[in-house]
Amino acid sequence: MTRYFRIATAASLLYGITVASSQAQAAEPKIATEGQGISTVLGADASAVTYWVKQPDGWHVVTTVGTNGADNTYTESRAVARFSAVLLPGQSQSISVPAELGKPQSTLLIRRVADRIEVETNSDLVN
């Protein structure tokens, strides 16, 4: 259990760094190793940190998604949500961030492919 708290703390720190950054990222899959946080920008106003740990019932994948103001500063309307899933080989999880009407939403796709976890962004991955 202590391991979860250490990883969650590291993920929170990475999240803060990601929110401060406004650089766009390519939609190429990133490979996450166990306990390594993967930072992902989900459009201009949201970002995510994903990590996983191996457990007897599968690989536990945790993603924390946060929104920030248009100028990348803390606002009272900021929202943070945490998603978790237990993924077996061949399974995936998708998380989408709503967008303005008529604009594509950002989607984060997390897949377990054999012995690795892939994290990818793309508005066309999920309907």
What is the domain partition of the chain in residue ranges? 2-121
The amino acid occupying position 109 is L
Question: Residue holding tokens 């201009």?
Answer: 44
- Which H helix or E strand runs over 4? helix 2-20
According to the model, what pLDDT value does residue 90 have?
94
Render pLDDT for 47-79 as a digit per residue (tens, 0 to 9). Answer: 999 999 999 999 999 999 998 765 555 556 678
Say which residue, 122 or 41, is predicted with more confidence: 41
State mean pLDDT over 28-55. 90
The residues pairing with 106 across neighbouring beta strands, listed in sequence order, are 97
Output the CA–CA distances (angstroms, integers) from residue 43 to 9, 18, 57, 99, in the order listed: 24, 12, 33, 9
Lowest mean pLDDT among 12-21, 36-45, 74-83: 12-21
Query: What CA–CA distance (Å, rounded) separates 45 from 37?
Result: 20
Lowest mean pLDDT among 42-46, 71-75, 83-87: 71-75
Average pLDDT, the chain: 77
- Residue 106 Cα to chain centre, angstroms: 11
Q: Quote the tokens at residue 85.
A: 């899933």
- Those residues whose C-beta lies under 8 Å from the C-beta of residue 4, and which sit 6 or more positions away, are 53
Backbone dihedral angles phi then psi of residue 23, each to the nearest 5 degrees: -75, 140
Higher-confidence residue of 122 and 32: namely: 32
pLDDT value, residue 26: 45
